[in-house]
Amino acid sequence: DTEVTQTPKHLVMGMTNKKSLKCEQHMGHRAMYWYKQKAKKPPELMFVYSYEKLSINESVPSRFSPECPNSSLLNLHLHALQPEDSALYLCASSRSPGTSGANTGELFFGEGSRLTVL
């Protein structure tokens, strides 16, 4: 069983809706991630939070808005999405980097939230 919990598992929304994806981990990890995965493609990094601060934004459109309220929670707020945004959204966490800041170890993934935009 994964120790990263994502809700909801499935979400269908219209292009004018506002919704949120939620992710929670209780492993004490201080780095959390959002990845987007289209069918038969690899996961693509969207955002990374390190110590609750946004450290990487892979030029993601502003209709995706991440939030890290505390070290255990990660949200992805969705607004005015397009049908091409339909995908599996994966949350992951990892132990905090060392002081060198460049030691990405094992990622623990949730089961994902499958998003369909109509």
Partner 1 sequence: SQQGEEDPQALSIQEGENATMNCSYKTSINNLQWYRQNSGRGLVHLILIRSNEREKHSGRLRVTLDTSKKSSSLLITASRAADTASYFCATSLPGGGNKLTFGTGTQLKVEL
By the criterion CB under 8 A, which residues form the site for partner 1?
Answer: 2, 4, 31, 33, 41-45, 48, 50, 55-56, 88, 90, 92, 94, 97, 101-112, 114
Cβ proximity to partner 1: between 79 and 109 the closer is 109
Q: Minimum CB separation from partner 1 for residue 18, in Å?
A: 25
In the chain, the amino acid numbered 70 is N
Count of H helices and E strands in the chain? 0, 11
In the complex, minimum distance from the CB of residue 80 to partner 1, in angstroms, rounded to a whole number: 26
Establish how many alpha carbons lie within 13 A of residue 116's alpha carbon, considering only the half-sphere containing its beta carbon: 5
Give 15 or 56: the residue with its C-beta nearer to partner 1. Answer: 56
Nearer to partner 1, 7 or 17 (CB): 7
Least spacing, CB of residue 16 vs partner 1, in Å: 27
Q: How many CA atoms lie within 13 A of 74 on its CB side?
A: 34
With CA atoms as reference, report the closest residue to 77 among 68, 92, 86, 4. 68
